[in-house]
Amino acid sequence: VTGVLVSAAPAPGLDVAAAEDSLRPRPLADGHRSVLDAVERPLVVDEEQSSYGVRATDSLPSPEEWLPRPDGLPAEMVLAAPQGLGDHA
């Protein structure tokens, strides 16, 4: 199995509305297409196995007591939204 992770963030200095707009479905899909189109032979992209989305870079502690705590510390969660999330809700 081979994988490549391309990571990007909204441009520094954007106001909140512009940063939010850059993370909407169309700009994300356009960025994904741009990355796929940049791959040249002899490399080949398996588009069916390719995905994109948004995730927080910092994990958030969860105070939920029912979550496992194997090391005694609160569980941590990462917020993530993969492409097509609404189609699977």
- Paired strand residues for 53: 82
Q: Inform me whether the pLDDT recorded for 33 exceeds 90.
A: yes
Looking at residue 2, its pLDDT comes to: 66
Distance CA 29, CA 57 (A): 20
Is residue 76 within 8 A of residue 59, CB to CB? The reply is yes
Q: Which residue has the higher pLDDT, 46 or 86?
A: 46
Quick one: residue 13, left, alpha or beta (phi over 0 = left, psi -120 to 50 = alpha)?
Answer: left
Q: Which of the four pLDDT bands, split at 50, 70 and 90, describes residue 70? A: confident
Looking at residue 67, its pLDDT comes to: 92
Q: Tokens 């510390």 — which residue?
A: 73
Q: Which region among 6-10, 39-43, 75-79 has the lowest average model confidence (pLDDT)?
A: 6-10
